[in-house]
Copies of this chain bind each other. A is one copy, B any other.
Amino acid sequence: MSEYKLHEDRFFSPDENIRKNAREIYASVKNLPIISPHGHVDPSIFSANKPFPNPTELFLIPDHYLFRMLYSQGIKMESLGIPAIDGSKVETDPRKIWQIFADNFYLFNGTPSGAWLSYEFNIVFGIQEKLNGSNANKIYDELQDKINSPEFLPRTLFEKFNIEVLSTTDPASDNLVHHKKIKKSGMKGRVIPCFRPDAVTDLSNKKWKANLKLLEKTAGYKIRSYKAFIKALEERRAYFKKNGATSTDHGTFSPYTHELPKKEVKEIFSRALKNKSTAKDAKLFTAHMLMEMARMSTDDGLVMQIHPGSYRSHNELVSEKFGPDKGCDIPIETEYTFNLKELLNKFGNNQNFSVIVFTLDESTYSRELAPLAGHYPAMKLGPPWWFHDSIEGMNRYRRMVTETAGFYNTVGFNDDTRAFVSIPARHDLARRIDSNYLGGLVAKHILSLEEAFVIAKDLAYNLVKKAYKL
């Protein structure tokens, strides 16, 4: 094993004409504060501010990017300690799990998870060797020591990571108790919620009725009509806004948008209350609710995010045993030109409206999304998402998007992570890739170096702040 120190020039083009620009550009943005406008970090880690329990629970358990890959190579979820929702016994010894992870760490070679973990181990935790089967225990001990020290408490790391704002993602029924505690605690960084009502807008969700009950509870009244439902959502949005939210998020199967006649939507909602709604009802209701959410955004100014195109829980055996978000969500082909037409025609020319659209279908970057974002004033294109939040994914994004949408119809970087400690790693990687992309444009005499500096700062800091109204 060669010396394990992340190279200063990592991820930059080996071409010296590009690399020298990339270095200069990166140097100008590397220390900018981190704005994380969309992600899934659990806010309770900051309200509690307790030490993380152990390396396995810090790195592996919350990160479905990791156990997905291990599972694909025949390693059982049980042996990785992933909690089973059916009460099945799973491995509980964090060291045993860590050993499996270490034995198979080579599987992450060439993947973004590998790159992020290297940063976390080497830069955040000062580990001097690359993890493998032989040094697993030793590194576990080193990590455990650090975790136990006050310097690695969540809030301390938040400051050390230079995070200016961190947005979580929260269901409509959430009372935001952790966000309130954080605010009261005097913690310096800003941790804000994001309003995600999917649990109650997706009628095909098996737990829809239960989710609605949760919403009733927070709302403080029974929701027996579509009108009451809309009222509750409007009130929840106002509550989220009051507690710092600047955005909403919508993880729909399809980006189809369509406003239903009032009579029809009421009927669908009534059927749903009676457990009689159909698959078609659910599809139409989601399409209608996207229109409603856009209408509300136009009123309250919350920035709308649409994250469509994931077939959630594709592997039923895994999801029935271990629950959702367990690495078996698979992207599907996604269409935007027809599907977003109604929403963009009604709200896309409106100065008070702002919608950020994401995709898991890269074939839509140059075909649909860049042309749409490059025309409609209200629409911006979100950064490469999930599987595409990677070195090559970011390069494809810039190459397929920039020439049609320019830089200024994009919104900077999202880390979109559940793994708090990976945040600086992810932002650092994104800044490096953008710096390298800009360095290439300078080397090809498409931009001047001065222009590249300006754009680099916009991509790393200004655009996200503006787009998310932070």
A29 in the interface (beta carbon within 8 A): no
Q: How far is the CA of A313 from the CA of B388 in the complex (A)?
A: 31
Chain B's closest residue to A328 (CB) is B375
> What's the Cα separation between A367 and B393 when bound, in Å?
11
Contact check, A393 vs B409: say whether CB atoms are below 8 A apart: no
- At the interface, yes or no: A242 with Cβ under 8 Å from chain B? no
Q: Does A14 contact B (CB under 8 A)?
A: yes
A338 to B69, CA, bound (A): 21
A454 to B329, CA, bound (A): 31
Whether A374 contacts B69 by the Cβ 8 Å rule is: yes
Instruction: Say yes or no: B107 contacts A371, CB within 8 Å.
Output: no
Question: Chain A 319-350, CB within 8 Å of chain B: the 1/0 string?
Answer: 00000000111111101011001001100110
Q: Report the stretch among A5-13, A39-47, A168-176, A211-219 that lies at the interface.
A: A5-13
For the complex, what is the distance from the CA of A407 to the CA of B69, rounded to whole Å?
Answer: 11
Contacts of A15 in B (CB 8 A): 14-15, 17
Which B residues are CB-close (under 8 A) to A404?
Answer: 111, 387, 390
A134 within 8 A of B: no
Given known pairs A2-B449, A18-B14, A372-B330, the reply for A110 and B441 (CB within 8 Å) is: yes
Q: Are B337 and A446 in contact (CB under 8 A)?
A: no
> In angstroms, how far is the closest chain B Cβ from the Cβ of A263?
25
Q: Which residues of B contact A379 (CB under 8 A)?
A: 72
Query: With A14-B15, A111-B402 given, is the CB distance from A367 to B333 under 8 Å?
Result: yes
When the two chains form the complex, which single residue of B11, B69, B329, B370 contacts A444, counting CB atoms closer than 8 Å? B11
Interface status of A112 (Cβ within 8 A of chain B): yes
Residue among A2, A14, A332, A337 with max Cβ neighbours from chain B (10 Å) = A14
Smallest CB gap from A9: residue in B: B445
State the CA gap A331–B404 with chains docked (Å). Answer: 12
Q: Which residue of B lies closest to A130 (CB)?
A: B448
Find out whether the CB atom of A447 lies under 8 angstroms from the CB atom of B110: yes
Given contacts A14-B444, A72-B375, A107-B406, contact A360 B367 (CB under 8 A): yes
Cβ-neighbour of A391 out of B9, B374, B446 (below 8 A)? B446
Q: Indicate if the CB atoms of B71 and A375 lie closer than 8 Å.
A: yes
Which B residues are CB-close (under 8 A) to A390?
403-404
Query: Whole-angstrom distance between the alpha carbons of A270 and B450 in the complex?
Result: 64
Q: Does A316 contact B (CB under 8 A)?
A: yes
- Complex Cα distance, B388 from A344, in Å, reads 23
User: Is A221's beta carbon under 8 Å from chain B?
Assistant: no
A residues 126-156 touching B (CB-CB < 8 Å): none
Asked whether A392 is an interface residue with its Cβ less than 8 Å from the other chain, the reply is yes
Contact call B327/A375, Cβ cutoff below 8 A: yes
Is A351 on the interface with B (CB-CB < 8 A)?
yes
Interface residue ranges of A407-460 to B (CB < 8 Å): 407-409, 440-441, 443-451, 454-455
| Contact B367 A110, beta carbon cutoff 8 Å | no
Given contacts A112-B403, A366-B393, A371-B331, contact A409 B338 (CB under 8 A): no
- Knowing A10-B446, A106-B451, A111-B402 are in contact, say whether A363-B374 is a contact too (CB < 8 A): no
Known: A72-B374, A392-B400. 20 other contacts (CB 8 A): A1-B450, A7-B445, A9-B445, A13-B444, A14-B15, A69-B374, A111-B406, A314-B372, A317-B345, A329-B371, A330-B372, A331-B367, A333-B335, A360-B367, A361-B367, A362-B363, A362-B366, A362-B367, A370-B387, A392-B399
